[in-house]
Amino acid sequence: MDQANQFKKWSLSFSGCDGGDIGSQDSPSTWVSGIEWGGGHSPESLIGHMSDVEMDPPSGYAGWENNLAYIFNWQVMKLLSAISGRKVEEYKEYAEEIQPFTKGSSGFFKMNLYPIAFKDTSEKRWERDFSTITGFDSKQGYVDWCRRYRLPMIRSWSEAYRPKLIICLGKSYIEDYAKAFACDVGAFEKLRIDDRDLSWQINEFGSLVAVVPFMVNSNGLVKNASIQKFGEKMSELM
């Protein structure tokens, strides 16, 4: 199989997912979805990942400490802590006790819409590093392909496992989240909380889909008091 076809096969698997407990219809989990992994792939690391096609949901982090190792993760711990009825300031204790997204723990699954991690948006970097590997001349070609094929695959996971809650991080990607998680993009309800938007709806499979601002930039959902309110509201909506 050539690299481009291998890339497509890999992209339609659970690539880009940190994993955990994906749940079931009888025991539904909470899913957290970002856009893509942080850090950025090199051509070599992408090829290495492509050799391991994740046809089964990955089992998650080896240790709970990963949930405190990166700002993205610890912000998510704050939100999950608030949803559970705790204070965001207890997020470290929550991470150690509940151990979301960790091998052997239950109730939480972590994923991304897109499988490749990018250091930046440079088209020259794409042409130099990724066009031959993926078979796409431009990053937009890759994005369009993922929207056509990968997001419907994620939708099929939503139907099969039916999480009780899907937390989507990054409101500018709401159309992609809608496609991935069986939502009508025009049917989101919007709540304004501390000058930030919480968009939500119940999808066609009965999951609460909540789209929140990205949690690591100054214009996003970063203040503890606001994260607390968002978490409490999501708990009410469930």
Between the alpha carbon of residue 213 and those of residues 61, 134, 164, 226, the distances in Å are: 25, 30, 20, 11
Q: Which tokens belong to 188? A: 């989101």
Is residue 137 within 8 A of residue 128, CB to CB? The reply is no
pLDDT in tens, 143-157: 999 999 999 999 999
pTM for the whole thing? 0.94
The CB density around residue 74, as the number of other CB atoms within 10 Å, is 16
- 80 in Cβ contact with 231 (< 8 Å): yes
pLDDT tens for each residue of 69-112: 989 999 999 999 999 999 999 999 999 999 999 999 999 999 99
Q: Residue 45 corresponds to which tokens in the numbers above?
A: 């690391």
Residue 121 clears pLDDT 70, i.e. is over it: no
Distance spanning both ends of the chain, measured CA to CA: 45
Please give the Cα distance from 39 to 204 (Å, whole number). Answer: 34
The answer on pLDDT for 200 being more than 70 is: yes
Is pLDDT above 90 for 223? yes
Instruction: Give the residue, 127 or 192, on which the prediction is more confident.
Output: 192
